[in-house]
Amino acid sequence: MPETTHNSQSKGTGNGADHRGIGERVEHINQSAQELWSEAQGAVTQLKETLDIQGRVERHPYGMILAAVGVGYVLGGGLFSSLTGGLLRLGFRVAALPFVKQELLSLAKGALQNARGGTDAGQAPAAAAAAPAEPPKAV
Amino acid sequence: METSQQLTDKARELQARIAPQIEEARKNLSDLNTRITTYIRQNPGTSLLAALAAGFLIGKIATRRW
């Protein structure tokens, strides 16, 4: 609305001032657009530098591919599926394997020691040797 | 004594037969790994987009009711 007021006021002075005003506005808009564009470009460059996807892919190609597959899997809605449950269970089992292995090894060692002690001492500890051997079956 | 000697001979023979195949398989796998990593490094955008699409499809298939 101020334009109309400006136009009505500048009627007496002629079209030169109008053209100058419009030109200034266009120039201003152009400048603003250029500033916006350069700012957007700067933001994109900064984001690229921050994420450093190229560098990450260079350093860990398989890791990045796996991460992309994971993101796609979540985006595809597979997060709350039975496959995720199965994968998680498998992961837990694989993660727990070293601890269970340690336990099993210590049990087996105990059983072996008991068995050796039994053969040295006599027949009676044979039953004692059988007892520690049971827990691995249960596991 | 003879049986153990025979067994050892057989094991050696088997090893001599299998070892080159294992070596060749190892070389092939190493070559494949080099090619894959080179491709990923040369085309990171394509590789990541393909992996994203593959994950998306797997997610869709996993949630599908059969």
Give me the pLDDT at residue A124, please. 46
Q: Which residues of B43-66 are buried (b: 16+ CB within 10 A; e: fewer)?
A: ebeebbebbbebbbebbbebbeee
Q: Chain A neighbours among B 3-62 (CB < 8 Å)?
A: 36-37, 40-41, 44, 47-49, 51-62
> What is d(CA A51, CA A95) in angstroms, rounded to the nearest whole number?
30
pTM: 0.58
Which position has the token pair 């419009």?
A22
- What are the tens digits of pLDDT across the range A50-88? 888 889 999 999 999 999 999 999 999 998 888 899 999
Distance, in Å, from the CA atom of A103 to the CA atom of A19, rounded to the nearest integer, reads 90
Place of tokens 């080099």: B34
pLDDT digits (tens, 9 = 90+) for B15-54: 999 999 999 999 999 999 999 999 999 999 999 999 999 9
Burial class (CB in 10 A: 0-12, 13-18, 19+), B36: middle
Domain-by-domain residue ranges, chain B?
A: 2-63
- pLDDT, tens only, A15-55: 666 777 888 999 999 999 999 999 999 999 999 888 888 89
Mean pLDDT of A97-126: 77
Contacts of B56 in chain A (CB under 8 A): 72-73, 75-76
Q: How far is A87 from chain B (nearest CA, A)?
A: 12
Most B CBs within 10 A among A48, A62, A73, A83, hence the mutation to make, goes to: A73
